Amino acid sequence: MSTRPLSLSVVILAAGQGKRMKSDLPKVLQPLAGRPLLKHVIDTARQLDPTSVHVVYGHGGDRVRETLKDEKVSWVLQAEQLGTGHAVMQAAKHLQDDEVVLVLYGDVPLTKSQTLDELLSLANAKAMSLLTVMLDDPTGYGRVIRDSREQVQKIVEQKDASKKELLARECNSGVMAMHAKHLKSWLSRLSNDNAQGEYYLTDVIAMAVKDGIKVNPLVVANAAEVLGVNDKVQLSEVEAVHRREKARELMLAGATIVDPARIDIRGDVTIGKDVYLDVNVVLEGKVTLGNRVHIGPNCVIRDCTIEEGTDVLPNSVLDRAIIGPDCHIGPFARIRPSSTLARGVHIGNFVEVKNSQIGEGSKANHLTYLGDSTIGSKVNVGAGTVTCNYDGANKSRTQIDDGAFIGSGSMLVAPVKIGEGATIGAGSTITKDAPASKLTIARGKQVTIDGWKRPVKKPSP
Q: Are 314 and 296 in contact (CB under 8 A)?
A: yes
Q: Are 171 and 134 in contact (CB under 8 A)?
A: yes
Detail the DSSP E strand segments found in 159-271: 170-179, 214-219, 256-257, 263-271
133 beta partners: 171
Which of 59, 94, 294, 366 is labelled catalytic?
366
Look at residue 185 and give its three-state secondary structure.
Answer: helix
Residue 350 CB neighbours (<10 A): 16
Supply φ then ψ for residue 41, to 5 degrees.
-70, -40
Cα separation, 320 vs 263, in Å, equals: 20
128's enclosing H/E stretch is: strand 127-134
Q: Are 356 and 370 in contact (CB under 8 A)?
A: yes
> What DSSP string describes 310-345?
-EE-TT-EEESEEE-TT-EE-SS-EE-TTEEE-TT-
Report the interhelical angle of 203-210 vs 180-188 (nearest 10°). 110
Q: Are 106 and 12 in contact (CB under 8 A)?
A: yes
Sign (positive/negative) of CA torsion 86, 91, 95, 101? negative
Cα separation, 356 vs 234, in Å, equals: 43
Clarify whether 182 is annotated catalytic: no
Give the residue from 215, 185, 49, 212 showing the smallest Cα distance to 122: 215
- Is the bond preceding 297 in cis, omega lying within 30 degrees of 0? no
Cα separation, 68 vs 66, in Å, equals: 5
Report the interhelical angle of 84-92 vs 180-188 (nearest 10°). 120
Where in the sequence numbering do the catalytic residues fall?
366
